[in-house]
């Protein structure tokens, strides 16, 4: 079998890239060891936030929101986009200084974030208790929000297939063939496929996949846990987050509260088991942020992995091996920036000028001084 581009991983990024390439007439095939959205995409909060501390992430997120806003129409499939905003707690004067800098930078980029105080916070999310949150204010951006990660990924995959892309589920990539520093193809548990380009969109397994071609990535898989409660009456539309506490939670359309927080037992590696300490810590913090939630039942908890780079920015683009393209290292924000990321990867493969500069996402950046994204949660 032969294809122009072999994509490893059918998460949101692999499927969105397949769509962007198929749209450009490329012969593309996606190889997925399990099923579509079986990785982090199907385990994530699917929040969409433009309130970042680095311009790189803020621009990627803003451009992605512009795409998300038209995506249901473009793909002719409802992706469940809801723009209820993101409310980011500010806990101290020190944090206020950073928040002001972030908002100034975000506004300069056209992101409509602003600082809000108690009255407005209570208006936007009456469920919150500022004393319990230990918050003095918040930043808010009304165009941030949430989309359904399953619907969005399936929509990209369905339309990619209609345009000619192939998606091979339950097909694990076991090796990458390289000759004279040039990609030749991949080896799967079902056979060999020749390809001119291989895209590593394997999420938390991207380090292992890169190693198949002799490329070392600095990415580390870190176990992250999340939970969902029974549904309650809808009272707020925004995602609530805190960089200090690492907590994030929102209310789903059907009324459930979905969220996460770093577990006291958080560790690097492929640990799938959910922990009781996460459950206890999250329940305690949720009760502090929104005392009304103290008595609701938790229905389910699960684990996923952040694919974490040293600066919390993704790795996008070419490597020293001709035709081996990286699209990974998304930490806790690979869903929200995927629409723009997919366009950039397709532009790189098709030899087009990229719509945004991508040097700051290059794997080469780790050879020099890096600037860490501070605005992370989960």
Ligand X SMILES: Cc1cc2nc3c(=O)[nH]c(=O)nc-3n(C[C@H](O)[C@H](O)[C@H](O)COP(=O)(O)OP(=O)(O)OC[C@H]3O[C@@H](n4cnc5c(N)ncnc54)[C@H](O)[C@@H]3O)c2cc1C
Task: Tell me the window of 63-71, 89-97, 114-122, 325-333 that interacts with ligand X (CB under 6 A).
Answer: 325-333
313 contacts ligand X (rule: CB under 6 A): no
Binding-site size for ligand X (CB under 6 A) equals 41
- Shortest Å, Cβ 118 to ligand X: 26
Cβ-based nearer residue to ligand X, 40 or 56: 40
Binding mask 143-182 for ligand X (x = CB under 6 A): -----------------------------xx---------
On the 0-12 / 13-18 / 19+ scale of CB atoms within 10 A, 244 is: middle
Q: Which residues between 194 and 223 bind ligand X (CB under 6 A)?
A: 201-205, 209
Interface pick for ligand X out of 5, 6, 7, 10 (rule CB under 6 A):
10
Name the packing angle between helices 12-23 and 149-162 (round to 10°). 30
201 membership: H or E segment, kind and range: none
Helix (H) or strand (E) holding 172: none
Token reading at 355: 């719509």
- Strand partners of residue 139: 88, 115
Q: Give the Cα separation of 8 and 48 in Å (integer).
A: 24
Of 217, 255, 219, 227, the residue nearest 334 (C-alpha): 219
Q: How far is the CB of 336 from ligand X (least distance, A)?
A: 3
Residue 152 CA to its chain's centroid (Å): 13
> Does residue 325 interact with ligand X by CB under 6 A?
no
What part of residues 354-373 is at the interface with ligand X (CB under 6 A)? none
Q: Is 8 in the site for ligand X (CB under 6 A)?
A: yes
Nearer to ligand X, 52 or 335 (CB): 335
By the rule CB under 6 A, 63 interacts with ligand X = no
* 226 part of the interface to ligand X, by CB under 6 A: yes
**Residue given tokens 């190889």 in the structure block:** 31
Instruction: Give the nearest distance from C-beta 46 to ligand X in angstroms.
Output: 5
Cα separation, 297 vs 218, in Å, equals 39
Binding mask 104-133 for ligand X (x = CB under 6 A): ------------------------------
The interface region with ligand X, picked from 34-42, 62-70, 92-100, 103-111 by CB under 6 A, is: 34-42
Task: By CB under 6 A, name the one of 7, 11, 91, 251 that touches ligand X.
Answer: 11
Distance CA 217, CA 314 (A): 11
Best CA proximity match to 30, nearest among 188, 223, 152, 175: 188
- Sheet of 113-116: strand order equals 113-116, 137-141, 86-90, 239-241, 248-251, 257-260, 220-229, 298-308
* Least distance in angstroms from the C-beta of 134 to ligand X: 23
Give the footprint of ligand X on this chain (CB under 6 A): 8-14, 31-34, 38-41, 43-47, 172-173, 201-205, 209, 224, 226, 260, 304-306, 330, 332-336, 378
């Amino acid at each position: 079998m032969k294809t122009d581009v072999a994509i490893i991983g059918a998460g949101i990024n692999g499927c969105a890239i397949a769509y962007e390439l198929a749209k450009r007439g490329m012969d593309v095939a996606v190889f997925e060891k399990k099923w579509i959205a079986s990785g982090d995409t199907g385990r994530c909060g699917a929040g969409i936030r433009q309130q970042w501390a680095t311009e790189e992430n803020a621009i990627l997120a803003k451009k992605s929101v512009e795409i998300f806003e038209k995506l249901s129409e473009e793909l002719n499939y409802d992706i469940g986009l809801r723009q209820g905003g993101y409310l980011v707690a500010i806990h101290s004067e020190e944090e206020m200084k950073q928040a002001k800098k972030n908002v100034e930078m975000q506004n300069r980029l056209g992101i409509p974030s602003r600082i809000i105080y108690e009255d407005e916070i209570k208006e936007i999310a009456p469920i919150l208790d500022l004393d319990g949150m230990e918050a003095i204010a918040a930043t808010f951006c009304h165009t941030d929000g949430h989309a359904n990660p399953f619907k969005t990924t399936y929509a990209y995959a369905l339309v990619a297939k209609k345009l000619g892309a192939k998606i091979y589920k339950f097909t694990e990539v076991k090796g990458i063939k390289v000759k004279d520093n040039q990609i030749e193809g991949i080896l799967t548990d079902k056979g060999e496929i020749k390809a001119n380009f291989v895209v590593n969109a394997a999420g938390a397994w991207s380090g292992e996949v890169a190693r198949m071609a002799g490329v070392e990535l600095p990415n580390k898989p870190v176990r992250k846990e999340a939970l969902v409660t029974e549904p309650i009456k809808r009272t707020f539309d925004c995602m609530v987050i805190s960089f200090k506490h690492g907590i994030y939670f929102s209310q789903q359309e059907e009324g459930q509260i979905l969220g996460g927080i770093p577990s006291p037992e958080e560790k690097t590696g492929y640990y799938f088991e959910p922990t009781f300490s996460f459950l206890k810590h999250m329940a305690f913090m949720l009760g502090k942020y929104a005392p009304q939630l103290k008595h609701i039942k938790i229905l389910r908890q699960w684990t996923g992995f952040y694919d974490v780079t040293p600066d919390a920015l993704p790795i996008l683009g070419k490597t020293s091996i001709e035709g081996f393209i990286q699209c990974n290292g998304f930490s806790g924000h690979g869903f929200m920036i995927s629409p723009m990321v997919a366009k950039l990867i397709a532009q790189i493969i098709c030899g087009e000028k990229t719509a945004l500069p991508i040097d700051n996402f290059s794997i080469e950046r780790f050879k020099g001084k890096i600037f860490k994204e501070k605005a992370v949660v989960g």
